[in-house]
Amino acid sequence: MKTVKNYFLLVAVLFFVSINNTNAQGKEYVPLLKLNNGLEMPQLGIGTFAISYEQAKEACLEAFSKGFRHVDCATAYRVEGAVGEAMKESGIPREEFFITSKLWVSDYADGKTLASIDTILKRFQTDYIDLLYIHQPIGDYVNAWKEMEKAVASGKVRALGISNFDASKERFHAIVDHMKIKPVALQIECHPYAQRNDIREWVKPYDIVIECWYPLGHGDAGLLSDPAIKTIADAHGKSIAQIILRWHTQEGFSVIPGATNPVHIKENISIFDFELSDEEMTTMRSLNKDKRFFNVTLEQLDSWADR
């Protein structure tokens, strides 16, 4: 009798596993990063920079079907509405998503910041933003931060971050040392050819996550055909892009590659089924050239303040 019971128990377990595997088919696992305010953020997200409204919507829908839940956006990208439409059409509960956006400098002025946040919420068709960044360290960014803190207090924003503050150490410290709410993340250009070791030292005392844009070097042909990375890729049966993204995650970064091609979207999220060895990580670290692809001085950034 006991044998029969065990048999039926085994059948039930196998059936349950089968159903869950079927439901999870095509959806990849993405680890979570614990932020310094206690929130958890998916380590990998999809970026929406420099694509059309329709491309953003279709890319997000495709990404959601593959397991992405973290989307990086910005008011300046003009696709927040597309992301909101994709979220709604996906049928996925809002609480599963981690949605970020960035305020542009025109939203920093007194009286504009909170109104701009309300506009972003309407575009996303949601009542809160998971993470809101200051896009550039220019204009009245201190005032903007203080207004953003009010949005956190009212529940409209869950966490605050800074973007491109690597342009000025003084302005970085103006936020991290003097504001009530500390940034949970710093968005900067970062990839194997520009590993930003100096900026990584800046954020360490504050437990700030570095989130990397241009993680594939803005499509740089040299990086995407680098022979050292190709050797590692061949050893794992992965693409060079996958090795680069895996390097980012093993360094502890958050990473937000953009993609509109369904093949690339699937490839970008399929990076957690293998690990780079210590030797391979050493090889990747040796590729640093401090070679950035977005080279704008602080003076040039300041000139954008009136735009």
pLDDT (tens digit, 9 = 90+) per residue, 200-227? Answer: 999 999 999 999 999 999 899 999 999 9
Read off the pLDDT of each residue in 159-167 and give the average, rounded to a whole number: 98
* Polymer length of the chain: 307
Token duo for residue 89: 């059409």
Q: What is the 3-state secondary structure (H, E, C) of the chain?
A: CHHHHHHHHHHHHHHHHHHHHHHHCCCCCCCEEECCCCCEEECECEECCCCCHHHHHHHHHHHHHHCCCEEECCHHHCCHHHHHHHHHHHCCCHHHCEEEEEECHHHCCCCCHHHHHHHHHHHHCCCCECEEEECCCCCCHHHHHHHHHHHHHCCCECCEEEECHHHCHHHHHHHHCCCCCCCCEEEEECECCECCHHHHHHHHHHCCEEEEECCCHHHCCCHHHCHHHHHHHHHHCCCHHHHHHHHHHHCCCEECCECCCHHHHHHHHCCCCCCCCHHHHHHHHCCCCCCCCCCCCHHHHHHHHHC
Comparing C-alpha atoms, which of 177, 94, 98, 89 is closest to residue 130?
A: 98
Other CB atoms closer than 10 Å to residue 206's CB: what's the count?
A: 16
CATH number assigned to the domain comprising residue 195 = 3.20.20.100
* Residue 19 binned pLDDT confidence (cut-offs 50, 70, 90): very low
Q: What is the mean pLDDT of the chain?
A: 92
What is the predicted pLDDT for the residue at 16?
A: 38
What is the predicted pLDDT for the residue at 307?
A: 65
CA angle 126, 131, 133 (to 5 degrees): 120
Beta-strand pair 131-134/160-163:
parallel
Q: Is residue 23 part of a domain?
A: no
Q: From the candidates 77, 133, 193, 214, which is the catalytic residue?
A: 77
Read off the pLDDT of each residue in 289-297 and give the average, rounded to a whole number: 89
Per the structure, the complete domain to which residue 285 belongs is given by 31-306
Please report where in the chains the tokens 């704008």 appear, as a residue: 296
Read off the pLDDT of each residue in 54-68 and give the average, rounded to a whole number: 99
* Residue 26 binned pLDDT confidence (cut-offs 50, 70, 90): low
Token duo for residue 114: 């909170």
pLDDT, one tens digit per residue, over 253-291 is: 999 999 999 999 999 999 999 999 999 999 999 999 999
Paired residues of 209 in beta bridges:
185
Q: What Rg, from alpha-carbon coordinates, does the chain have? A: 21
What is the predicted pLDDT for the residue at 45?
A: 99
Long-range contacts, 115-124 (Cβ 8 Å, 24+): 116/75, 117/148, 117/151, 117/156, 117/157, 118/156, 120/75, 120/80, 121/156, 123/80, 123/81, 123/83, 123/84, 124/80, 124/81, 124/83, 124/84, 124/87, 124/99
Read off the pLDDT of each residue in 134-144 and give the average, rounded to a whole number: 96
The total of structural domains in the chain comes to 1
What is the predicted pLDDT for the residue at 18?
A: 36
Q: Is residue 18 part of a domain?
A: no
Q: Is residue 137 part of a domain?
A: yes
CA distance 70 to 68: 6
Q: Is residue 214 part of a domain?
A: yes
Q: Looking at the predicted structure, is the pLDDT value of residue 14 above 80?
A: no
pLDDT, one tens digit per residue, over 93-138 is: 999 999 999 999 999 988 899 999 999 999 999 999 999 999 999 9
What is the predicted pLDDT for the residue at 304?
A: 84
* Residue 20 binned pLDDT confidence (cut-offs 50, 70, 90): very low
Q: Is residue 9 part of a domain?
A: no
Q: Check whether 135 is labelled as a binding-site residue.
A: yes
Q: Is residue 1 part of a domain?
A: no
Residue 77 among the catalytic residues: yes
pLDDT, one tens digit per residue, over 32-41 is: 999 999 999 9
Of 8 and 170, the one with more pLDDT: 170
CA distance 185 to 167: 15
Q: Looking at the predicted structure, is the pLDDT value of residue 293 above 80?
A: yes
CA distance 237 to 15: 32
What is the predicted pLDDT for the residue at 9?
A: 43
Q: Looking at the predicted structure, is the pLDDT value of residue 48 above 60?
A: yes
Q: Is residue 275 part of a domain?
A: yes
Q: Is residue 19 part of a domain?
A: no
What is the predicted pLDDT for the residue at 302?
A: 87
